[in-house]
Structure 1
Amino acid sequence: MQDALVRRLSSPVPRYTSYPTAPHFNEGIGPQVYTKGLARLGKANRLSLYAHVPYCDRLCWFCACHTKQTLRYEPVEAYLKGLHAEIAAVGRCVSPEAPVTALHFGGGSPTLLRPDDMVALKRCLEQGFAFSPEAEISVEMDPNDLDEARHDALAEIGMTRASLGIQDFDPKVQKAINRIQTFEQTRGVVEAARQRGVRSVNCDILYGLPYQTMETLAETVRAVISLSPDRIALFGYAHVPWMKKHQTMIDEAALPGVVARFEQMTMAGEMLVTAGYEAVGIDHFALPADRLAVAARNGTLRRNFQGYTDDQADALIGLGASAIGQLPEGYFQNMPATGEYLRRVEEGGVAVVRGYALTDEDRARAFVIERVMCDFGFSFADLAIRHPLFAATIRAEACGFAASDRDGLCRIEGDRFMLTGAGKPFARTVAAAFDAHLSSGRGRHSIAV
């Protein structure tokens, strides 16, 4: 019975790091709309910045990010010149009184940058924006890139959270995904970050990888726990070769089936909870004192393009090729192709090529979907206060979904629509029930577990 339920409820659905999701963005949203939205950000608006570095010195075959491999540093230098120009142009549009409370360097591999370039990029951002003294600075790190000079540079830019991609420590799995990384390397990076005062360490683990078994995954989880990271992300591998051609290098016959994936997810999650981590949303775990765990407990957990966060910023500004941002008006995405991104920045300072202008109904549904993904439910009263025009419609949909639910995924309890324990692993599937755009058929998605 359980296996049949897993198969039936694992149909591809969005990951809901935004609503509407990226396939619904359109080219009617361009630089003029974007700069006007930026100009409206002022003293009362907290800002979060995302800086994208779309280069790696090796291409991991599992990766679904916007990145490319380079063994030469010249393309990176040229890209950084354009990124500096975009930062300056965007910064001029935003009030100098708007405080930056969070900055995330993503990729690609930001740690591919030379130490002096890391420091110069942070200085450029500080010249363009007003940073709060308490701003959180997080960096995605590839242990294979790092040396003492880079560790020192990361300390100089004020990194407060180190995010390490681990995926799996089993040699056979690593070879199959072209991600060779030893436990000793990883432990050395964690120790170096902590020695330099980093107060939060995040580690990413993937399940559903080729040749991965319950035993090998359990070994990886135990090894990660031994590092005592503050947060652990337990992601399901998203096999999307129609979108990321390098994933064709992965032998599909070696991938675990959907039931095996579900069993891997369940086992790894139980191991983390037993080790003292608190479950956060569908795929994160955090120590009880960590800010993410606190946010999950007090109902302030958020979800954006980086996944689960405690970031309460009013606007997310995306910088770099393919970067996506969110302003009160809606979503904005930069040109993904690096060459065209650089040309657009050189000509106009900004590189937005598409986006989405939110309607009142979109905002109401975005609120509901985010709460389902973060809290596994939502309050009808809260919905009515925040989005009165669409509260009755969405409440009727929620009650109808609960009434027709034959799998015990959810229930109506007083004022709340709630997922049950059985329903929580399928939160993406439940959230999709409130997605008014999903039936348009735009975009293909990864399986739901």
Structure 2
Amino acid sequence: MNADLLARAGRPVPRYTSYPTAPHFGAEVDAATYAGWLAAVPPDATASLYLHVPFCAELCFYCGCHTTVARGITPLVAYAARLEEEIALVTARLPGRLEVGHLHWGGGTPTMLGNPDFLRLMALLRTRFAVRPDAEIAIEIDPRVMDQAKVDTLASAGINRASLGVQDFDPKVQEAIGRRQSFAETAAVADALRKAGIGAINLDLIYGLPHQTTASVTRTLNDALALEPSRIAVFGYAHVPWMKKHQALISEATLPGPAARLEQAETISCLLNEAGYVSIGLDHFARPGDAMAERAEAGTLKRNFQGYTTDDAPVLLSFGPSAIGALPQGYVQNLPATPHWHQAVARGELPIARGRALTADDRLRRAVIERLMCDLSVDLDAVCAAHGTDAGVFAQELGALAPLIADGLAVREGSSVRVPETARAFTRTVCAVFDAYLAPHSGAAPDAPPAPRRHAAAV
């Protein structure tokens, strides 16, 4: 890919874990709105749960998550107690004890919570919700802060999927991102989890980090494959120091350029496919037979704030600072500052900062973008028919696709739009054409205005 095309195709675009995306949430959706939406949830609805723990033992320089360094156990104990209160506030407004098929602990580092607090929270969730026996109960893990007691706690709490943060095994890269983590300690945690009965192991890797090369990411990937994970997520590093000030600790001179990033992404993808993993959407890979691979094959894969998922529950209830929930009516986001979240919950208030009520056009475009993100193709006629809309509504967008089609980043076949396998890395660029909230047809026309600096490069 030549430099000019890479510059056009790799423009900053959203990650599309929702549509509309979080920058377009507003204060018009507040605690009262959320209370009304909760009360309107059908009693027989299935829900999924997300719990955010905004604490880490130390701050990694590359991190884009909402987290802070915990100074001692006191803030963690107080946080767990307040989380119980928020759960009570939300469930008191629901019409009944909803069935739950997916539960995800994220952060931060959720395993920073004390073992008794974690067990108590899991027991509370099972009391307030009807957690199905076959529910997926997942947690994000930093292998550097695990011990056998923590592994045993997770197993006894019913955790059955663990995502291990790896990012990169190269010592030079680790030094540059402030995260020293050996292969041996990562392998030991994976082994301990499996021995405790937690057999579904995911690994998270990142390309585009300082000092990474195609050779170094190949070595990291080979080490990762030795751990035999069920799934691997490979994210492009988003260098946004104007949003995450600590990323300024990373020298931009050490970051791979766009061409090097693309080569790293394509190399990783090829190696994973050669190892037998199935490509899932933009940046996930799974073993054949894994539920995610089966959903991808069937065209029923979903995408939410945790990335690609097999979860198709219509209600996502999220707890903790900055956590985003989704209901049929729209999205809600909690107060991002932990002290403000604490104060609101202590007052007995739903700690909502903002949200977005969905319009009919939002729902239509969300469906188009989700299918592109999950399947790399979408039948516009079928989606429009399902939403009671004439397919002509996308006439302008189809015109704006022309430059992407000419560049080989998209293919139009009748009423369908498809991202060819060779352009998989640029899927978000194609999705951006259907995003009504970006600059006109962002990612499509070479002379379109630059996207706001809240987004990272497409690759």
Range of TM-score over shorter length: over 0.9
Residues 397 and 434 in structure 1, CA contact (< 8 A), matched pair in contact too: no
Unaligned residue ranges in structure 2 (runs of 5+): 441-450
Residues 401 and 433 in structure 2, CA contact (< 8 A), matched pair in contact too: no
Aligned to 2:363: 363
Does structure 1 residue 210 correspond to structure 2 residue 220? no
Aligned to 1:219: 219
Matches of 2:166 and 2:235, distance apart in 1? 11
Q: Deviations over 1:360-414 (max 9, x none)?
A: 00000000011111111111332122212353212x2453244443112222223
Equivalent position amino acid for 1:446 in 2: A
Residues 296 and 375 in structure 1, CA contact (< 8 A), matched pair in contact too: yes
Quote how far apart the aligned CAs of 1:126 are.
1.6
Residues 372 and 431 in structure 1, CA contact (< 8 A), matched pair in contact too: yes
Aligned to 1:313: 313
What secondary structure sits across from 2:10 in the alignment? coil
Decide which moves more: 406-415 or 246-255: 406-415
What secondary structure sits across from 1:6 in the alignment? helix
Quote how far apart the aligned CAs of 1:8 are.
2.1
Matches of 1:42 and 1:399, distance apart in 2? 38
Equivalent position amino acid for 1:67 in 2: T
Equivalent position amino acid for 1:282 in 2: L
Aligned to 1:163: 163
TM-score, reference length from structure 2: 0.95
What secondary structure sits across from 2:322 in the alignment? coil
TM-score, reference length from structure 1: 0.97
Decide which moves more: 246-255 or 398-407: 398-407
Quote how far apart the aligned CAs of 1:97 are.
4.2
Decide which moves more: 76-85 or 53-62: 76-85
What secondary structure sits across from 2:316 in the alignment? strand
Quote how far apart the aligned CAs of 1:213 are.
1.2
Quote how far apart the aligned CAs of 1:318 are.
0.9
What secondary structure sits across from 1:354 in the alignment? strand
Aligned to 1:448: 458
Matches of 1:78 and 1:44, distance apart in 2? 33
Residues 76 and 114 in structure 2, CA contact (< 8 A), matched pair in contact too: no
Aligned to 1:400: 399
Does structure 1 residue 115 correspond to structure 2 residue 115? yes
What secondary structure sits across from 1:439 in the alignment? coil
Matches of 2:396 and 2:372, distance apart in 1? 14
Equivalent position amino acid for 1:445 in 2: H
Q: Deviations over 1:328-356 (max 9, x none)?
A: 01000000111110100011241011000
Residues 85 and 349 in structure 1, CA contact (< 8 A), matched pair in contact too: no
Does structure 1 residue 438 correspond to structure 2 residue 448? no
Unaligned residue ranges in structure 1 (runs of 5+): none
Residues 321 and 337 in structure 1, CA contact (< 8 A), matched pair in contact too: yes
Matches of 1:402 and 1:337, distance apart in 2? 40
Superposed CA RMSD: 1.4
Aligned to 1:286: 286
What secondary structure sits across from 2:406 in the alignment? coil
Residues 31 and 349 in structure 2, CA contact (< 8 A), matched pair in contact too: no
Superposition pairs of residues 30-69 of structure 1, within 5 angstroms: 30-69=30-69
Quote how far apart the aligned CAs of 1:217 are.
0.8
Residues 42 and 97 in structure 1, CA contact (< 8 A), matched pair in contact too: no
Residues 76 and 112 in structure 2, CA contact (< 8 A), matched pair in contact too: no
Aligned to 1:183: 183
Superposition pairs of residues 251-262 of structure 1, within 5 angstroms: 251-262=251-262
Superposition pairs of residues 413-432 of structure 1, within 5 angstroms: 413-432=413-432
Aligned to 1:232: 232
Does structure 1 residue 27 correspond to structure 2 residue 37? no
Q: Deviations over 1:174-231 (max 9, x none)?
A: 1111111110111111111111112311000100000111111111000000111000
Aligned to 2:378: 378
Equivalent position amino acid for 2:25 in 1: F
What secondary structure sits across from 2:434 in the alignment? coil
Aligned to 2:444: none
Aligned to 1:277: 277
Equivalent position amino acid for 2:398 in 1: C
Does structure 1 residue 78 correspond to structure 2 residue 78? yes
What secondary structure sits across from 1:44 in the alignment? coil
Q: Deviations over 1:280-309 (max 9, x none)?
A: 001000001111111111001111100111
Flag the 1:276–1:106 CA change in 2: closer, same or farther, 3 A. same
Residues 324 and 333 in structure 1, CA contact (< 8 A), matched pair in contact too: yes
Q: Deviations over 1:19-51 (max 9, x none)?
A: 111111001111111011111223332101000
Matches of 1:308 and 1:397, distance apart in 2? 29
Equivalent position amino acid for 1:63 in 2: C
Aligned to 1:135: 135
Quote how far apart the aligned CAs of 1:442 are.
5.9
Matches of 1:156 and 1:303, distance apart in 2? 29
The percentage of counterpart residues that share the same residue type is 46
Decide which moves more: 90-99 or 350-359: 90-99
Quote how far apart the aligned CAs of 1:251 are.
1.1
Residues 61 and 177 in structure 1, CA contact (< 8 A), matched pair in contact too: yes
What secondary structure sits across from 1:438 in the alignment? coil
Equivalent position amino acid for 1:359 in 2: T
Decide which moves more: 85-94 or 222-231: 85-94
Flag the 1:353–1:442 CA change in 2: closer, same or farther, 3 A. farther
Equivalent position amino acid for 1:330 in 2: G
Residues 230 and 287 in structure 2, CA contact (< 8 A), matched pair in contact too: yes
Matches of 2:44 and 2:124, distance apart in 1? 23
Equivalent position amino acid for 1:368 in 2: V
